[in-house]
Amino acid sequence: MTVAETHCPYCALQCAMRLAPEASGRLAASPREFPTNGGGMCQKGWTSAELLDSPERITVPLRRDGGRFVEVGWDEALDEIAVRVRALQEAEGADAVAVFGGGGLTNEKAYALGKFTRTVLGTRYIDYNGRFCMSSAAAAGNRAFGLDRGLPFPLTDLGDAEAVLLLGSNIADTMPPAVQHLGGARDRGGLVVVDPRRSATAALCDDGAGIHLAPVPGTDLVLLLGLTHVVLAERLADVDYLAARTQGFEDVRRSVAAWWPERVASVTGIDEATLRRVARRLAAAAPHRGGRGAYVLTGRGAEQHRDGTDTVTAAINLALCLGLPGRDRSGYGCLTGQGNGQGGREHGQKSDQLPGYRMLADPAAREHVAGVWGVDPASLPEPGVPAVELLRRLGTPEGPKALFVHGSNLVVSAPDARAVTDRLRALDLLVVCDFVASETAALADFVLPTTQWAEEEGTMTSLEGRVIRRRAAVAAPAGVRSELEIMAALGARLGARVALPTDPREVFDELRRASAGGKADYAGISYDRLDAGEALYWPCPDDTHPGTPRMFTDSFATPDGRARMVAVTPVGPEDDVRDDAPVYLVTGRVLQHYQSGAQTRRVDRLNSSMPAAYVELHPYLAARLGIEGVESVRITSSRGSMVAQARISADIRPDTVFAPFHFSGLGRVNSVTNAATDPISGMPEFKVCAVVVEADDTGVIDTATAREVVA
């Protein structure tokens, strides 16, 4: 056990922290100064070290024996897994096996997982939970700018802005230290938050600090078209910027002409005067009108729809009309959610990508990466399918019969989770690598215990595209192995034709070579430079390059250097309200928990503060349904239902209910959500569906801990 300067294991803000032993001998986390968190840290970060010696830690491989798990040795577990994988692939081909990764894996592990999948298993079936996180913004960014980096500027740049439009992100709860970067916009009355709830972030607009817009769920795209209409109709656009730095503007101009303010108001519920006020406020802050700067930022609330890519495209179009991207103190960006959501998709976990953000279907990309790996490019599988489609195929006659899960808890986090659970149960082999018994691990044939964040070296890539060092502070428990060691051991048993290093530094050096020349070029980033304190943002193509904190200052990453403006048309929710399901359901996060809650629900100080799911509904809706106080409420869709305690609040629209997605058992809201996907990004429509809300007469509210649910 030692003192280590590292970063938080949770969200993509990657707050800098120090891990040091207390007098009791336990490690404790404390914040340290760093640009993104400014010396602050949220509840999750403060309590993060408590998981390191959790009594619920898995430290021995587990094999299913009937209805229970038995402890087995590593050799026994890996030997049997390898035998069963070989038998399935010999009988049904390489695609009989699939892999599902996670946005919390280090760059090294994400890279190694993609390599292992495509060279050892030889399957095309790989995707990861980042498909649920930022894929629509990634697709829109690639389409518009030729490149996807969540924030193409340092987060600290926001501090001087005069106006910030924030769509679908409750950062006051999800990444509280980031709120400080909105201070400039708030001081100038320029913070605009779009959310159907008066969330903690929307409340930052109070007292003249900004404007909270609460549109009808699923209408963000229409709202953005209306704002762009006003900007153009009132001659507020940066015409010189549009002429010099974009193409496709005329198509966008014609398309938004149909979305005049009165029509937008009838769809979104945002009145005409407010729409004009917001458009004028953003324009006044834009550089071409002498403002101090403006930003348009999107989060999951804008993305997790079947037209999420087009919604983000509309946000980008608005930013381009105002001349923001690539300008000083202005821009467009997406707030990445998961700790390594950015790096996780750059290096091979997505179904169609290779390291360096290369595309698997590109012959030149295949040749480059195959050369680094020492294999024939023709031996690499073709692109697979996005996460939701992959999950739908599990255990079907034509689909994969085995699944490896790394860093994801699908039973809680996937949309239409009851159907996903059925598909997992239909598999011939489910192997879960984790350090606690998640709800997904509870279904596994084998659970392989892995190291945690403070027990391993590696790198992460923050929401800004900044590569940072993760450092070990404590040795892993005896019997626990890293994913790198697990993949190497399985690879040896499966006749791997490639080297599978287990030293993170060696893996990162190989990643650098594989990413060289790609969009996400890490070739010039090294452990030595990071350990010396250099702030390195990709692309960083060589050892003397300073990195690229601000992108698009001279040109965009398109063939002609111009941003692509794309006209888009709203389609609305796939599962819209109707007579037999008259209420909208929206989902989101709470301050105390993270993702599926597999980690945070095991931290007593967090779980005691928020032990169970709840349903937030407006007093008018509650009165109409005869719901009072803390009664239990049942929410039902065409896919399933959940039961949780009612929380009556005027901070939500009367036609909408909200539930957090961190909980399992009766409170699992993803039993209700819709698995319809965006046709471009493959992102599911988590954020809106039609439900029936009623008082639940069972009187049962699920307050079970994570451990009790799994048991």
DSSP H helical segments within 40-180, as ranges?
A: 43-46, 74-92, 107-115, 135-145, 171-174
Which of helix, strand or coil describes residue 634?
A: strand
Residue range 411-435: mean pLDDT, rounded: 97
Q: Does 133 have pLDDT greater than 90?
A: no
pLDDT in tens, 86-100: 999 999 999 999 999
**Domain 62-133+341-537 - what CATH class?**
alpha beta
What pLDDT is attached to residue 209?
96
DSSP state of 639: S
CATH of 135-335 given 3.10.580.10, 3.40.228.10, 3.30.420.130, 3.40.190.10: 3.40.228.10
Q: Does 656 have pLDDT greater than 90?
A: yes
Q: Does 159 have pLDDT greater than 90?
A: yes
The whole-angstrom separation of Cα 17 and Cα 99 is 32
Cα-to-chain-centroid distance, residue 288: 33
Residue range 103-122: mean pLDDT, rounded: 97
For residues 542 and 698, which has the higher predicted lDDT (pLDDT)? Answer: 542
Boundaries of CATH 2.40.40.20 in the chain? 583-710
Boundaries of CATH 3.40.228.10 in the chain? 135-335
pTM: 0.96
pLDDT in tens, 524-539: 999 999 999 999 999 9
Which of the four pLDDT bands, split at 50, 70 and 90, describes residue 2? confident
626-630 — which CB contacts under 8 Å span 24+ positions?
626/695, 627/693, 627/695
Integer CA distances (angstroms), 139 to 311, 313, 334, in order: 11, 9, 12
Q: How many residues does the chain have?
A: 711
What pLDDT is attached to residue 24?
86
Contact 694, 633 (CB under 8 A): yes
Strands (E), 9-93: 16-21, 27-31, 62-65, 68-71
DSSP state of 578: B
What pLDDT is attached to residue 699?
61
The closest alpha carbon to 305, from 567, 657, 690, 686, belongs to 686
**Domain 583-710 - what CATH class?**
mainly beta
The helix (run of H) or strand (run of E) holding residue 458 is: strand 458-461
For residues 343 and 582, which has the higher predicted lDDT (pLDDT)? Answer: 582
Q: Does 710 have pLDDT greater than 50?
A: no
Q: Does 369 have pLDDT greater than 90?
A: yes
Q: Does 391 have pLDDT greater than 80?
A: yes
Residue range 351-369: mean pLDDT, rounded: 97
**Domain 4-53 - what CATH class?**
mainly beta
Q: If you search the block for the tokens 């900007």, which residue do you land on?
A: 231
Q: Give, in degrees to the nearest 5, the angle at Cα 83 between 81 and 86.
A: 105
Q: Does 273 have pLDDT greater than 60?
A: yes
Instruction: Annotate 237-289 with DSSP letters as a single string.
Output: S-HHHHHHHEE-HHHHHHHHTT--HHHHHHHH---HHHHHHHHHHHHHHSGGG
**In the 3-class helix/strand/coil scheme, how is 381-392 assigned residue by residue?**
CCCCCCHHHHHH
Residue range 222-239: mean pLDDT, rounded: 98
The whole-angstrom separation of Cα 344 and Cα 503 is 18
Mean pLDDT of the chain: 95
Contact 334, 137 (CB under 8 A): yes
What pLDDT is attached to residue 585?
98
What pLDDT is attached to residue 711?
32
Boundaries of CATH 2.20.25.90 in the chain? 4-53
Residues whose CB falls within 8 Å of the CB of residue 419, separated by 6 or more in sequence, listed in order: 392, 639, 675
What pLDDT is attached to residue 701?
59
pLDDT in tens, 467-517: 999 999 999 999 999 999 999 999 999 999 999 999 999 999 999 999 999
Q: Which amino acid is at 139?
A: A
Q: Give, in degrees to the nearest 5, the angle at Cα 339 between 487 and 10.
A: 105
The whole-angstrom separation of Cα 688 and Cα 561 is 36
The whole-angstrom separation of Cα 588 and Cα 195 is 11
Per the structure block, which two tokens stand in for 530?
């990071």
Which of the four pLDDT bands, split at 50, 70 and 90, describes residue 704? very low
